[in-house]
Chains A and B, each alone.
Chain A
């Protein structure tokens, strides 16, 4: 299973023997589009909207063809205003709909923060459960595509810090399909962070069997060290694990998937076995989710840890321009250095 989740062109050709009949090879963009199509078909109260989501099908084509198929009442364009899109989502949810809004790029979630933090996250609480907010906010997220400013942000720590929100990020087409279908049927607000640099990578999607949609997932087993990652960093960590294996280092790769709630049990289970952990994320270091992950691991594995949990992350700088983004996003070398620091750690 784990090999098929690796990025790569050869995944497209890998409909080998032993693959279930329900498995199809598709890109994450196709998987997300398929999931939304099915959600619209299965739930008449589901509505999709945002900037350019309708006729154009979204700037990343995630909603491609959905308006033509499901109609302009189910899939529609809004004026260009993120606070409006999210504020409107609150009212639609109050009216019994399941809004699936899109914020076109991560950085454009900032203008909607008031509606996300003060309204969406709190309405169920404020109304004492009378007004649930089944809102699935899709946010093309993270960097890696040489985009303009405000098009490469990693907002997971910001959202995960807000009581009342749940946060999830898929790492491959299979996860994208199943996690989106799951998120879009939840009665609570879910921030769905799509790793935009992975939209066009293909992989096998088992349409029939998604496994459990909750919690983290071991993407590769190992016994020497656990790499914890999410979104686009999972594929990179799998590459790192492959390289490390050549040196006889067996790395376990844990795809956290849910950034809130974080699967503390899965972290504990993996690190109790490996006794070493490195967490990798694109977001800046300070007060990033890596700190939360490190604390959870420390809490559960303090007695068995061989080294402090290491963090390999973006820097505490505004997301840089395209020329420098490869310096900013954790690359294979930096992750390997992080692994080395942990492996070579000496007590005292």
Chain B
């Protein structure tokens, strides 16, 4: 896979990383305690997470075909980017701002997956998980809409820390996700500029998966690289192989260390490929051929990790079989939970609009109760 000219990070405190292709080519981590080389246990855990995510993701497509859920936005092929970045999050103090395609991040962070997948079951827009407890903002569908929220939340960490930003283990960091398509949104520009001006502890994590529904990156991203834009904001950036989970973990940890120490935001562009459709309602055959898909997708990120673990003697076939069995059991449990989910009571439509409701809403709720047969 060619990503064009690698982009160089631009702050002296943040050594430049070019295209990172694997563990052996990683530069040493600049600072921060959590960022040593990955241990064998961690590598095995990453594999297990990726298998769980892969299996749940492909199962969700099947659920949609079976009528269990009305729709889903798969992240097939982006497991390394999502699991690797989510793995760097400290859920005791960081906060993550997803789009609608970050199932792998949610799973890695330990979010209740029945509650997460409920948004795809059309139970509740945003899902049923508690965003404060899980440290994951509710799913929302305006791409780039939540990128600015990350900046505001991150600036809040700076304000709360006062002058002690660099002590006490550093700042909570906002990790915000968007894609090559969303990078066209003005809100992404505003977010990067605000974050850089305010030195907000934000990690902008771009999954450049080659496609915004039917429009390829070359018709979306002028200049060819979202990471290259960071230079204009005076922000360090990493363009990495997003299909190499080790590279993703290392890069994200480095970015977190940078932001946590009060040095401001970092942009990571993880180059990956959306192997599936945009959503279960999409038909990629209308805009790309199977040959193009095969060439664009390159090697499967899950298989790449498997080969590495085998080569390094970190895991064997028995471990892989065990991981797959665990993934299947997990999927079954989540599917059972999803199928058992009933509709939310209609009163919630009215009760959750405001903290302090209004007479008009109360009247509408009363009217609905009277006229509804479903109460």
A residues engaging B (CB < 8 A)? 47, 73, 78-79, 81, 83-84, 86-97, 99, 114-115, 118-119, 122-132, 163-164, 166, 186-188, 260-262, 264-265
Give the contacts of B125-164 with A (CB-CB under 8 A). 125-126, 128, 130-132, 137-138, 140, 142, 145-157, 159-160, 162
**B299 CB, nearest partner CB in chain A, Å:** 37
| Complexed CA–CA distance, A95 and B125 (Å) | 21
**B138 with A81: CB separation less than 8 A:** no
DSSP class of B's interface residues: helix, strand, loop or mixed? helix
Does B50 reach chain A (CB closer than 8 Å)?
no
8 closest A-B pairs by CB: A91-B152, A87-B148, A95-B156, A88-B152, A84-B190, A91-B153, A126-B126, A261-B358
Contact with A along B175-196 (1 / 0, CB 8 A): 0000000000011001101100
Interface centre among A47, A88, A126, A127, by most chain B C-beta atoms within 10 angstroms, is A88
| Complexed CA–CA distance, A18 and B40 (Å) | 82
Closest to A128 in B: B352
Does B360 reach chain A (CB closer than 8 Å)?
yes
| Complexed CA–CA distance, A265 and B363 (Å) | 13
- Number of residues on chain B facing chain A (CB within 8 A): 46
Contact with A along B97-138 (1 / 0, CB 8 A): 000000000000000000000000000111010111000011
Candidates B187, B356, B361; contact of A186 at CB < 8 Å: B356
Does B197 reach chain A (CB closer than 8 Å)?
yes
Q: A88-B194, A130-B131 are in contact. Are A115 and B148 (CB under 8 A)?
A: yes
Residues of B within 8 A of A84 (CB): 148, 151, 187, 190-191, 193-194
Residues of A within 8 A of B155 (CB): 88, 91-92
Give the contacts of B173-227 with A (CB-CB under 8 A). 174, 186-187, 190-191, 193-194, 197
Residues of B within 8 A of A188 (CB): 354-356
Candidates B125, B130, B148; contact of A83 at CB < 8 Å: B148
Closest to A134 in B: B355
Candidates A73, A81, A129; contact of B355 at CB < 8 Å: A129
Candidates B174, B353, B359; contact of A124 at CB < 8 Å: B353
**B294 CB, nearest partner CB in chain A, Å:** 37
Residues of A within 8 A of B191 (CB): 84, 87
| Complexed CA–CA distance, A127 and B139 (Å) | 9
Closest to B189 in A: A81
Candidates B140, B150, B193; contact of A118 at CB < 8 Å: B140
Does B273 reach chain A (CB closer than 8 Å)?
no
**B131 with A131: CB separation less than 8 A:** yes
Residues of A within 8 A of B128 (CB): 128
Closest to A125 in B: B352
| Complexed CA–CA distance, A47 and B352 (Å) | 25
| Complexed CA–CA distance, A334 and B256 (Å) | 62
**A291 CB, nearest partner CB in chain B, Å:** 15
**B92 CB, nearest partner CB in chain A, Å:** 15
Interface centre among A87, A123, A132, A163, by most chain B C-beta atoms within 10 angstroms, is A87
| Complexed CA–CA distance, A127 and B353 (Å) | 10
| Complexed CA–CA distance, A262 and B361 (Å) | 11
Does B47 reach chain A (CB closer than 8 Å)?
no
Does B95 reach chain A (CB closer than 8 Å)?
yes
| Complexed CA–CA distance, A327 and B153 (Å) | 46
**B203 CB, nearest partner CB in chain A, Å:** 14
| Complexed CA–CA distance, A114 and B182 (Å) | 14
Q: 12 A-B contacts, Cβ less than 8 Å apart?
A: A73-B159, A81-B193, A81-B194, A87-B152, A88-B155, A91-B156, A114-B187, A118-B145, A119-B140, A126-B126, A130-B131, A260-B358
Candidates B138, B145, B160, B162; contact of A95 at CB < 8 Å: B160
Q: A79-B190, A81-B190 are in contact. Are A132 and B355 (CB under 8 A)?
A: yes
**B335 CB, nearest partner CB in chain A, Å:** 23
| Complexed CA–CA distance, A97 and B153 (Å) | 9
| Complexed CA–CA distance, A291 and B197 (Å) | 45
Q: A95-B157, A127-B131 are in contact. Are A88 and B353 (CB under 8 A)?
A: no
**B159 with A97: CB separation less than 8 A:** yes
**B355 with A90: CB separation less than 8 A:** no
Closest to B128 in A: A128
Candidates B124, B138, B358; contact of A131 at CB < 8 Å: B138
